[in-house]
Amino acid sequence: MHSIEQDAAVRYTRADGLADALRGADALFVYDFLSNAVPGAWYSADRLRWLHIASAGVDPVMFPELRDSDVVLTNSRGVFDGSIAEYVLGVILAFAKDLAHSVRLQDQREWRHRETERIAGRQALVVGTGPIGRAIARMLRAAGMRVSGAGRTARDNDPDFGTVHASAELNRHLAAADFVVAVAPLTEQTKGLFDAGAFAAMKPETRLVNVGRGELVVTEDLVEALRAGEIAGAALDVFETEPLPPESPLWTMDNVLLSPHMSGDFIGWRNALVEVFADNFRRWLAGEPLRNVVDKRLGYVPSAG
């Protein structure tokens, strides 16, 4: 940040001081990407021209006043693609090789031989065809899986997904998938996308992996689907309520793998986020086009699909 401080008057603030810090500011770097402080302090944004958030998802700052303003919104797309793809491959392998059960048996010092599944040739449906979804598709293909996608526009011959189905017709295509990976951005169209109807459309052997946003999944419907055996399991890194409440039944389900919103957090990720902002800051000063400009009508950086 030293180079930025050479070219700008930098104010550092916590959430409770944001309103004061925003007055007279031309740019805002929302480093705490889980904070919901920006809408409440927006009345003080009297000169703001650019807001950058240290995450790929922009829903914490996608409120009406920002959407209707002339403020340019950018995100940190690209930082977490490879790491999240590795996480997805990891949990798919954990399910196929029954690793959670092995750990439980190890804790009990119990020797129990089992047979496990192959993932080669199995079908993965990746819901969300942005850069993270593409990285996931490439990783799963490299592991021998068959991959298709679901995005805004249906198409064939996609370089990473092969076939992309229209998200509006998602339920028609869920039955073919052994693993469904949710990585779509959170929008009005995707909120609650995985509900009772979606789970009923899946086959009993299907596992769901959510590395997108917790609100993509209706938690109560997921719990019921798991209990009823409508789907075989779920790996969840994001949740409707975070931290996940202690009383949630998801904690104690044998067919559920949980992690605390960390699928993309590799060693060094914080510095990588700052580097993305610093690069955009240099572009902003030079009057050059910014990277990762969010279409505020869509809620994400546009890309094919």
pLDDT of residue 270: 96
More confident residue, 57 or 3: 57
Token representation of residue 189 = 């169209």
pTM exceeds 0.75: yes
Indicate the class that CATH gives domain 81-258: alpha beta
The percent of residues in the chain predicted with pLDDT above 90, rounded, is: 98
The pLDDT value recorded for residue 303 is 77
Q: What percent of the chain has pLDDT over 70?
A: 99
pLDDT higher than threshold 90 for residue 2: no
Of the listed 207, 213, 215, 230, which one is catalytic?
213
State how far the Cα of 70 lies from the Cα of 189, in Å rounded to an integer.
24
Q: How high is the mean pLDDT of the chain?
A: 96
Q: How confident is the model at residue 1 (pLDDT cuts 50, 70, 90)?
A: very low
- Catalytic, out of 101, 138, 261, 283: 261
Q: What is the per-residue pLDDT for 267?
A: 98
Average pLDDT over residues 67-74: 98
Q: Any catalytic annotation for residue 155?
A: no
| pLDDT tens for each residue of 153-163 | 999 999 999 99
How would you classify the pairing of strands 207-210 and 179-182?
Answer: parallel
Name the pairing type of β-strands 50-53 and 256-258. unpaired
* d(C-alpha 90, C-alpha 171), whole Å: 26
Instruction: Single out the catalytic residue among 242, 270, 282, 288.
Output: 242
Q: H/E element holding 67? A: helix 64-67
Q: Domain 2-78+266-286, what architecture?
A: 3-Layer(aba) Sandwich (3.40)
The whole-number pLDDT of residue 3 equals 77
- pLDDT tens digits, residue range 94-149? 999 999 999 999 999 999 999 999 999 999 999 999 999 999 999 999 999 999 99
| pLDDT tens-digit map of 201-242 | 999 999 999 999 999 999 999 999 999 999 999 999 999 999
Model pLDDT, residue 305: 45
Phi, psi (deg, nearest 5) at residue 163? -100, 135
Task: Work out the pLDDT band at 76, boundaries 50, 70, 90.
Answer: very high
**CA gap 293, 161 in Å, rounded:** 24
Q: Is 242 a catalytic residue?
A: yes
- In angstroms, the CA 277 to CA 290 distance is 10
User: Above 60 in pLDDT, residue 304?
Assistant: no
Task: Outline which parts of the chain fall under CATH 3.40.50.720.
Answer: 2-78+266-286, 81-258
pLDDT at 134: 98
Whether the pLDDT of residue 243 is over 50: the answer is yes
The one-letter code for the residue type at 301 is V
Segment 91-109, tens digit of pLDDT: 999 999 999 999 999 999 9
Q: Is 101 annotated in the active site?
A: no
CB environment 236-246: b (16+ within 10 A), e (fewer): bbbbbeeebee
Q: What is the rounded distance in angstroms from the CA atom of residue 212 to the CA atom of residue 150?
A: 14
Res. 27 pLDDT band, cuts 50 70 90: very high
Residue 151 pLDDT > 80 = yes
